[in-house]
Amino acid sequence: MALDWQTCSRARLTRDARFDGKFYIGVLTSGVYCRPICPARTAKEENVRYYSTAAAASEAGFRPCLRCRPECCPGTPAWLGTPSTVARALRLIGETGLEDGGVELLAERLGVGSRHLRRLFLRHLGATPSAVAQTRRLHFAKKLIDETHLPMFQIAEASGFGCVRRFNASIQKVYSRTPTQIRKLARQRAVQPQDQYVFRLRFRPPYDWNSMLTYLAARATPGVETVDGNSYRRTISWQGHHGYFEATIDESNVCLVVRVQFGDPRSLFFIVERIRSMFDLNADWTSIVRSLRGDRTLATLVEAAPGKRVPGCWNGFELAVRAILGQQVSVKGATTLAGRIASTFGRAFAPAAGLTHLFPTPAVLAEADLSRIGLTTARAATIRAFAKAVHQGHINFEGIIDTQNFLADLVQIPGIGEWTAQYVAMRALGEPDALPTGDLGLLRALGLANSKDLAKRSEAWRPWRAYAAMYLWNGGDPLRGTMVA
């Protein structure tokens, strides 16, 4: 990791929240590891060691601190100084966990040898892939113990331990306490209604929540998503179960408060990770702002509204359909069309205020008569072809190894051009460097004549070009520049 001892030391002594999740502090005298923001008394420098990941601190024999709760910190920014193989591996571990014997499989999917992958992990993260996956499981289990009333056997399952005995043994070994003892220590808030869970998801400040909400509100598919007051809410569907979640910012501006209603607790890990990525909670603002400030236009915009994030999405398929609908019509027009798609072809489901439908599945849209809702023949054909490709597994939004290959597949579909592909990369794949260089709004904001000039100018913003786009659009519309029909 590209952090030196002095930076860590300074961040630790000032409890700098911008570094939360970027490194961990092992305290020799207490045997615990902490986040930079730990409220406990600051240890002497000679008694601390710094680790780039929680897994590395754990491998070195430190226990997670019960006060600052390392399981609650923002995710490790995977790309920070790590080669792309490690970043991809971390993304896959994040999406699916790592089943038994999973390292071999993981290495195979990434096209490298498993010994090489282990070496890369040790060099860049200080821990093996299995240790990283194990730490994630433990952290999520701890979060469920502290923040929900789920019975322990369900937590064991939800956090991927398989059986209760393994779960108990792992918790006992790491925390020197049983799961039940840990739960007694947690000051639990009010009991939630059945199947409802409230999570507090941390980010590294600043976070411009208003601009996130404004962006999502303009594009919210009626009936499927809604923004009211200070919260965003939507219906969700995963592996045959349905539910919804609602997200808002905590008063003290340090985390999102997310309420999830979902019948199957085994999916909570997936749901929480997906929400983290949708709201771009792992972003490392200090690194982003450093490269954007170099551009005079961006510097002014960043100064005026620090903490903008790239809005992601709940479901890549849905986002891509929305992007296709947005071709050559206004944001408002596209939102109306998306609402018609949802109410005509989606399944009725009304779990909370403002929500009436689930977004239709690829299987349904592949066969849908889209001319009924006012789509042009060409646009209807594009959506059907895209839905069919996803339904048949030719295009898959889960576990993407290689963004470039994925995008190449996407533009094979007639009617999906470079602009749409880059927009999908930005929002559905969370690709921080994606940039629709043909976008007229971006060209106009910078007074540039063509996409070549934008490509050249944006070299300096790498690897954060998606954030630059958010600033340049600044709540305005992406303007679909050079596109295929």
Q: Write the single-letter amino acid at 210.
A: N
Residues 21, 75 contacting (CB under 8 angstroms): yes
The 10 Å Cβ neighbour count of residue 222 is 17
- State yes or no: residue 57 binds Zn ion (CB under 5 A): no
User: What pairs with residue 257 in β-bridges?
Assistant: 200, 248
DSSP letters, 317-345, are HHHHHHHHHTTTS-HHHHHHHHHHHHHHH
Among 43, 56, 57, 68, binds Zn ion (CB under 5 A): 68
> Smallest Cα–Cα separation from 227: which of 248, 252, 198?
248
Between 34 and 260, CB nearer to Zn ion: 34
Q: Which is nearer to Zn ion, 34 or 342 (CB)?
A: 34
> Is 34 marked active-site?
yes
- Supply the minimum distance, in Å, between the C-beta of residue 39 and Zn ion: 7
Catalytic (active site) residue 8? no
CB 69 → Zn ion: shortest distance, Å? 8
**Residue among 67 and 290 whose Cβ is closer to Zn ion:** 67
CB of 281 to Zn ion, least distance (A): 20
Rule CB under 5 A: is residue 65 a binding residue for Zn ion? yes
Q: Positive or negative, the Cα torsion across 54, 59, 65, 69? A: positive
State the helix-helix crossing angle for 268-278 and 129-147, rounded to 10 degrees.
100
Using CA atoms, how far apart are residues 315 and 387, in angstroms rounded to an integer? 13
For Zn ion, the closer CB: 67 or 123: 67
User: Structure tokens of 156?
Assistant: 């064991």
11 near Zn ion, rule: CB under 5 A: no
Contact region for Zn ion (CB under 5 A) — 60-68, 186-194, 358-366, 405-413? 60-68
The number of residues that bind Zn ion (CB under 5 A) is: 6
Q: Which is nearer to Zn ion, 19 or 314 (CB)?
A: 19
By CB under 5 A, which span of 63-71, 237-245, 344-352, 379-387 interacts with Zn ion? 63-71
Which CB, 38 or 380, lies closer to Zn ion?
38
Burial of 136 (0-12, 13-18, 19+ CB in 10 A): buried
**Minimum CB–partner distance for residue 35 and Zn ion (Å):** 6
Q: Which residue is catalytic, options 20, 284, 295, 439?
A: 439
Residue partners of 5: CB distance under 8 A and separation at least 6 = 50
Q: Are strands 63-64 and 32-34 parallel, antiparallel or unpaired?
A: parallel
Residue of 67, 166, 173, 293 that binds Zn ion (CB under 5 A): 67
Site for Zn ion in 21-50 (CB under 5 A): 34, 38, 40
Q: What angle do CA 391, 238, 200 make, to 5 degrees?
A: 140
Tokens coding 295 = 């551009």
Please state the closest distance from residue 156 (CB atom) to Zn ion, in A.
25
**Strands 196-202 and 255-262, sheet pairing:** antiparallel
Given 34, 38, 255, 313, the catalytic residue: 34
Which residues lie near Zn ion (CB under 5 A)?
A: 34, 38, 40, 65, 67-68
Catalytic residue set: 34, 439
